[in-house]
Structure 1
Amino acid sequence: METVKYRLNDPRLAPRRTKLEIPGWAGKRDPRTDGSREQVWHCVPFSEGAQYGIELFYPYDFELHVTTKDGRLQLDADWGAPPDSGVQWPPFRNFGDTFYTYQILLDLKVAKGMAVRTEPHPRFYTDRTDTVPIAVPALIRNWWPMMFFCVFKSPAEGRTHIFRPNEPFAQIIVIPEEANFQLEPMGEEESAERELQSRRIYNNRPKLAAGTEWTSSSDTVFDGTYRHLHRAAKEKARHD
């Protein structure tokens, strides 16, 4: 197990492993049963992807509203007096109107050969209000001693992104610092093996999905085939 160590300028900025909020941004606690509405947490790939990283929470006691009006960015908040720490105040700044920055002052130390990457918090993908901040992806190597600022995409004209107290605004994932892979087509034998695997799953789907089929309120049919295979694969990995 890898360890990620952190150093804070503001204790209220303490990160945590990303969690699905149910009920909350990840949806309602609707069961996997006929007539239920689909929720993102019903999907194992999304749930695993959403919980893969580290979530960061807005540390201030007031809301920040970020708006684009007549092509100009506006940052509206009741900032009050600057803190005694001597940090940039306000900590959010316009960055060419199309972006803005937050002086986050967060140090995340990862293992050699690894890096941290900022990205939108997974609640961005479930939001129906178009108010969730959009963190811009950025890769930071482990030799850099602190993440001094985080960049966000400005909202579209007439839209407003809102930072609320104790609400997550971005996610960080830990990945290899170099993308050491190349793309190449599968060979004939390997391609045939994958096709056979696919057909076996398809042919055994009635057995694998037995007792898990349900139809959502939008007439979409779901079953637990992937969930069953996922559990089996994890169990096998534990014993290998």
Structure 2
Amino acid sequence: MEKVKYRLNHPGLAPRRTKLEIPGWAGTRDPRKDGSHEQVWHCVPFSEGAQYGIELFYPYDNELHVTTKDGHLVLEGDWGEPPNNGLQWPPFRNFGDTFYTYQLLLDVKAPQGFAIRTEPHPRFYSDPTDTVPIAVPALIRNWWPMVFFCVFKSPAEGRTHIFRPGEPFAQIIVIPEEAPFELEPMTEEEAAERELQARRIYANRPNLAKGTEWLSSTDTVFDGTYRHLHRAAKEKARQG
């Protein structure tokens, strides 16, 4: 198993493998049954994608409100006395009004051949209030010994993004540092094979989904076809 190592200037950043918070940003514990409201954790691809990375938590004791007013960025927060550690204070800076930066001073060392990529925390996609900070994607190679800052997109005019104590504000994922692939159409044989697989799944869907079908509160039909195939694929991979 590969190791991702880190060092940080503030323990409150508390990097950890991203977890689904239920109840919380990932929704409530509505079971998969008729009448339940859809939750993002009901979707296996989203749940897997959301838990793929490392989440970072806002380490300070007071909230930061980031607003755009009359085209200009406004950062509002009670920072208190600056720490005696050489940290830029306050650690947030306007970056051309359309972006702002956060000097988090987090050093993450990915394994050889890998890099780290910053991105919005998955709760951004489930947030109905439009207040979750939007981390800008960036790729940092493993030879760089310090991630000095993270860049965020400014909120739209009249909107406010909020950093709250102990709340995740961004996610890091670990990926290959190069993407040595080319995009090309499938051959006729490859396309035919995929089509045959799709038709087999479609034809067997009633059996694959048996006992898992349910109708949500908004009349959306759900079933467990993907979940069943997902479990089977993982078991096959485990057995080699």
Where on the TM-score scale, by shorter chain, does this alignment land: which range?
over 0.9
Mark the runs of 5 or more structure 2 residues left unpaired by the alignment. Answer: none
Tell me how far apart the structure 2 counterparts of residues 225 and 47 of structure 1 sit (CA, whole Å): 16
Structure-to-structure mapping, 1:80-229, within 5 angstroms? 80-229=80-229
Give how far 1:9 is off: 1.0
Q: How far, CA to CA, are the matches of 1:133 and 1:113 in structure 2?
A: 30
- Give the superposition deviation at 1:14: 2.2
Number of residue-to-residue matches in the alignment: 240
- TM-score in terms of structure 1 length: 0.99
Query: Structure 2: how far apart are the matches of 1:46 and 1:2?
Result: 24
Q: Distance in 2 between matches of 1:123 and 1:179?
A: 27
CA distance in 1, matches of 2:227, 2:67: 41
Partner of 1:42: 42
How many angstroms does 1:84 deviate by? Answer: 1.1
Post-superposition shift, 1:138?
0.2
Distance 2:153 2:190 in 1: 42
CA distance in 2, matches of 1:226, 1:14: 33
Q: Specify the SS of the correspondent of 1:233.
A: helix
Q: TM-score, normalised by structure 2?
A: 0.99
Q: Please report the RMSD computed on the Cα atoms of aligned residues, expressed in angstroms.
A: 0.5
For residue 10 of structure 2, what is the aligned residue in structure 1?
A: 10
What amino acid is the match of 2:127? Answer: D
Amino acid in structure 1 at the alignment position of 2:9: N
State the SS of the aligned residue for 1:115. Answer: strand
Q: Give ranges in structure 1 of 5+ residues lacking alignment.
A: none
Instruction: Among all aligned residue pairs of Structure 1 and Structure 2, give the percentage whose two residues are the same amino acid.
Output: 84
- Following superposition, the deviation at residue 179 of structure 1 comes to 1.0
User: What SS does the corresponding residue of 1:211 show, helix, strand or coil?
Assistant: coil
| Counterpart-to-counterpart distance in 1, 2:215 and 2:161 | 35
